Chain A
Amino acid sequence: MAQQISRRSFLKGGMAAAAGVAASSIPGTEALAGPDESKQLATLIDISKCVGCEACVDACSEANAAKYPDPQKPFPKMIPDRVPVEDWSEKRDVNDRLTPYNWLFIQHADVKINGEERELTIPRRCMHCVNPPCVKLCPWGAAKRLENGISRIDSDLCLGGSKCKKVCPWDIPQRQTGTGLYLDIMPSMAGNGVMYKCDRCYQKVAEGELPACIEACPEDVQTIGPREEIIKKAHALAREINGYVYGENENGGTNTIYVSPVPFEELNRSIAKGKGKPHLNPVEDSMARANNLAAAMIIAPVAGIAAAVGKYFIPLFKN
């Protein structure tokens, strides 16, 4: 097998992840112990190997076709009028950006390597963050994070409010209007469809299979395995090719690690960016600022009780 992680070790990782998911049904102390990197599966994307053949894009579409939306038309009238209708159902073949019908696409960058002009191609999809804001800040729990590091949006629960897209540093999730739960609640007043993005073929992974994009790649661009191992491999590869790593620390860490022969700053300058076309900028941990306040929430009740106790005892001591 061409992938660096063998199917056997991948299966082992998958079973560990499945056991972890089962064990997490009730939050316990083990859930608070910190990230267990052995359970998280990350992918390594070796940009220097990618030839841009789009076999991964086609495999993704084929593997996920059953999950794509089939919206009801005409769409409900939106109140207020300014709520945007987003309809990709007539543009299902668009594959040069992320859409509800295209969860993976190839970005192109013209760069110079050792003085030689070269076009690099970069598979882009959800980064599957270690602490994904799309999942953590979803108001309904429609976005889910699995213990194996996959974040996915449950199309049966999503109301299409697009908050996940707004809090995603790469604006990955894409909306399709006219589908999903909102149609059964108050279609004009609340919700606007369903958000779609790469779920890293979670059903295939749960059965110990590889995600379709990895399986289909003729150049073995992607490798999947436990995050810790993948990061070691990414750094070893970066040392070998005198390259650069992206995704290890972005947004507090992701489960998609890119290795490039040129700096990501340079790649980012060259790629087409915009709607459905994510950047390659450095990204700060978007959840960190609020999470840093969590310690104060433990101190606050102690301070409150101490103030009341002080109010009672201080006059006694004075007397």
Chain B
Amino acid sequence: MNQNLAYNRVISRPLRWLYLTTTFFLMLTGFGQMPIFKRYYIADIPGLGWLAEFFVTHYIHYLGAIVLLALVTYIMADYFILKRKARRMTASGYIRVALLTGILISGGLLVVRNLTGTNFSPEFIIFLDVTHLGLVMLFLFASLYCLIRKKHWTTER
């Protein structure tokens, strides 16, 4: 059993911390796209002034998205190649994967929207903005629920 410990965890501890840090900064900088941190004094806290700088939070959000994309695809590929025989996804795992996929797709389309020369219709942009934020809120609540109820992404077969 101990020999299979690495297989029992779908991701190693350092990757887990990387995932948590990345998603934390993505949420922080994502909410920072709304003009709330200055209004509500968060940016007045020493060391957090950058949260009121929209181009800074935008850039960090992009960096976080790059790390998350690499991490998510690594974990998924690793699971399908190496670990699927030993472990299966739980229902809460499927829900979180679906939400995360939606967040990545809507976020990816917003990145495309921001490129010079792309001109999505205003209605589609509103749809993307609301979808991205809505899915993030759902993902946040789902993650908190799973943390409190100790629900794992995968379980032994």
Q: Which A positions have Cβ atoms within 8 angstroms of B? A: 20-21, 24-27, 31-36, 80, 82-83, 130-131, 136-137, 139-141, 144-145, 147, 154, 157, 161-163, 166-167, 190, 252-253, 286-287, 289-291, 293-294, 296-297, 300-305, 307-309, 311-312
Contact = CB atoms under 8 A, between A and B. Distances in A.
A300 B70 contact: yes
Nearest to A293: B62
Interface residues of B, number: 48
Contacts of A252: 116
Given A82-B39, A136-B114, A294-B62, 18 more contacts: A25-B121, A27-B124, A31-B120, A32-B118, A83-B39, A131-B116, A139-B33, A163-B33, A290-B58, A290-B59, A301-B70, A301-B73, A305-B73, A307-B70, A308-B74, A308-B81, A311-B81, A312-B82
A293 B63 contact: yes
Nearest to A141: B126
Contacts, number: 148
B69 A300 contact: yes
Contacts of B114: 131, 136-137, 287, 290-291, 294
Identify the 5 closest CB pairs spanning chains A and B, nearest first. A304-B73, A308-B77, A141-B126, A304-B74, A161-B35
29 contacts: A25-B124, A27-B109, A27-B118, A82-B39, A131-B117, A136-B114, A137-B114, A139-B35, A140-B126, A141-B122, A141-B128, A144-B125, A147-B119, A252-B116, A293-B62, A293-B63, A297-B62, A297-B66, A297-B69, A300-B67, A300-B69, A301-B70, A303-B73, A304-B71, A304-B75, A308-B76, A308-B77, A308-B81, A312-B82
B126 A24 contact: no
Interface of B: 33-36, 39-41, 54-55, 58-59, 62-63, 65-67, 69-78, 81-82, 108-109, 111-126, 128-129
A154 B65 contact: no
Most B C-beta atoms less than 10 A away, residue of A21, A136, A190? A136
A309 B59 CA distance: 30
A31 B119 contact: yes
A297 B65 contact: yes
B33 A289 contact: no
Contacts of A163: 33-35, 54
A51 B77 CA distance: 67
B74 A80 contact: no
A193 to B, nearest CB: 12
A41 B124 CA distance: 23
A306 to B, nearest CB: 9
Contacts of B82: 308, 311-312
Given A80-B39, A286-B55, A312-B82, A137 B74 contact: no
Contact of A27 (B62, B116, B120): B120
Contacts of A32: 112, 115, 117-118
Contacts of B124: 25-27
B119 A289 contact: no
Contacts of B54: 137, 163, 166-167
Contacts of A145: 119
A308 B33 CA distance: 33
B83 to A, nearest CB: 10
